[in-house]
């Protein structure tokens, strides 16, 4: 599943090609995604895309009188292509622009979403209960410590809760906890404020570095066959179970938490 850095890189990739462009057509080939694509998307025709924002892993295309929300689901991709580009399997939605380009969503598993908020009002409430953005000042020193008070849930599960903080997905939770020296099984409520404040800084650094690395794939968002997905990253622990720790050469271990893989160094990370 694309995580926050992948979605942010997607936003950066498509923005120069769609902002200030007028919508000339909306093509829905398969409306049955995670939620049915509403008929209201047709009202986008004639409107101009004013900006592209991101909230958590949702892309928000702001137009004059409403917001188009896009989510990539488990396996979706978005491209800016020539509007006459041959339609491929799983190409479910096109936002056609006056400049003869189209923003196209391809989603093999159909867990993605295309929704429209009239007057920019989030009627479904998808965004209302989300936690702060990790790269914003809203995720500040003391915030995680306060939210974790008396919580017995493992800290990795705590960090991946979008009601606590958005965008710290499985890959980046593994990496941040390794850099912070905290075992993923540690009860969130037992972590000190000092360690939480250090972890907050590390989360910001890990995500910012991933976005920087993903910048090499920006051109892929204007290629019909581009599939950047998880771009190449310099990962310390994720996907390296059974290999030596880069720091101490201890063999990295792997456990399952909430049906997700947690990889850690039993020497570098502690309760």
Per-residue pLDDT reduced to its tens digit, 194-238: 999 999 999 999 999 988 887 666 666 665 555 545 556 788 999
Residue bearing tokens 């599943």:
1
Residue 191 to residue 248: CA distance in whole angstroms: 23
**Position with higher pLDDT, 247 vs 119:** 247
219 is catalytic: no
Give residue 170's Cα distance to chain centre.
11
204 is catalytic: no
Residue bearing tokens 């540690």:
186
* Average pLDDT of the segment spanning 18-32: 97
**Position with higher pLDDT, 238 vs 3:** 238
| Consecutive H or E run containing 51 | strand 49-55
Give residue 271's Cα distance to chain centre.
28
pLDDT digits (tens, 9 = 90+) for 137-183: 999 999 999 999 999 999 999 999 999 999 999 999 999 999 999 99
SS3 of residue 257 by DSSP = strand
Q: Is the pTM of this model over 0.75?
A: yes
5 is catalytic: no
CA atoms within 13 A on the CB side of 144: 34
11 is catalytic: no
* Average pLDDT of the segment spanning 58-82: 92
DSSP state of 87: P
Residue 14 to residue 3: CA distance in whole angstroms: 17
| pLDDT at residue 221, as a whole number | 63
Note whether 237 and 178 are within 8 A (CB): yes
| Consecutive H or E run containing 12 | helix 4-18
| pLDDT at residue 214, as a whole number | 78
- Catalytic, out of 54, 57, 104, 179: 57
| pLDDT at residue 263, as a whole number | 97
Token pair recorded at residue 224:
């019909």
Average pLDDT taken over every residue of the chain:
92
Question: Cα torsion at 94, 103, 121, 147 (round to 10°)?
Answer: 120
How would DSSP label each residue in 58-79? Answer: EEEEEESSEEEEEE-TTT-EEE
Beta-strand relationship, 58-63 and 49-55: antiparallel
């Amino acid at each position: 599943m694309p995580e926050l850095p992948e979605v942010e890189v997607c936003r950066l990739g498509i923005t120069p090609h769609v902002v200030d462009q007028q919508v000339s057509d909306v093509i829905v080939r398969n409306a049955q995604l995670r939620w049915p694509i509403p008929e209201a998307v047709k009202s986008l025709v004639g409107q101009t895309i004013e900006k592209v924002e991101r909230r958590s892993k949702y892309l928000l295309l702001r137009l004059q009188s409403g917001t188009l929300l896009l989510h990539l689901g488990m396996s979706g991709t978005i491209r800016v292509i020539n509007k006459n580009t041959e339609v491929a399997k799983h190409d479910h939605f096109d936002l056609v622009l006056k400049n003869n380009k189209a923003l196209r969503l391809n989603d093999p598993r159909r867990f993605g979403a295309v929704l429209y908020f009239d007057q920019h009002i989030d009627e479904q409430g998808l965004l209302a209960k989300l936690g702060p953005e990790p790269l914003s000042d809203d995720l500040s020193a003391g915030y995680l410590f306060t939210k974790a008070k008396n919580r017995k849930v493992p800290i990795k599960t705590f960090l991946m809760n979008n009601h606590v903080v958005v965008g710290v997905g499985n890959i980046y939770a593994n990496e941040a906890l390794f850099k912070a020296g905290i075992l993923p099984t540690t009860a969130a409520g037992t972590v000190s404020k000092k360690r939480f404040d250090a972890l907050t800084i590390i989360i910001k650094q890990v995500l910012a570095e991933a976005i920087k690395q993903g910048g090499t794939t920006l051109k892929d968002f204007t290629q019909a066959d581009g599939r950047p997905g998880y771009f190449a990253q310099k990962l310390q622990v994720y996907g390296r179970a059974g290999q030596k720790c880069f720091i101490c050469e201890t063999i990295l271990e792997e456990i399952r938490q909430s049906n997700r893989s947690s990889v850690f160094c039993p020497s570098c990370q502690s309760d």
